[in-house]
Amino acid sequence: MHMAVVILALKKAYSDWEEKTMAKKAFGGYSICFKGCDETAQDIFGTGNLAPSEMTKKIWAYVKKKGIAGK
């Protein structure tokens, strides 16, 4: 009987956690849709080596230029 109570408590805790997790928005509240974009990674980043921080800057510049981000 004691094991059954523990199992039920764990199921409820997981269910509560799952509801909270699924209800959250995307990190930072942004959603980005690249559907219909024809540019390649080379078009966006160029041909040289880039640091990850520079890649992030170029991605966001592209997203802002195309207006494909939404909250």
- Pick out the chain residues at pLDDT < 50: none
Phi, psi torsion values for 41, nearest 5 degrees: -60, -35
pLDDT of residue 53: 92
**Domain ranges (residues) in the chain:** 2-70
pLDDT tens profile 22-35? 666 656 677 788 88
Burial zone of 51 (CB within 10 Å; 0-12 exposed, 13-18 middle, 19+ buried): exposed
Candidates 1, 59, 51, 7; CA nearest to 32 is 59
Judge contact between 70 and 30, C-beta under 8 A. Answer: yes
Q: What is the pLDDT of residue 7?
A: 73
In the chain, where do the E strands start and end? 31-32, 69-70
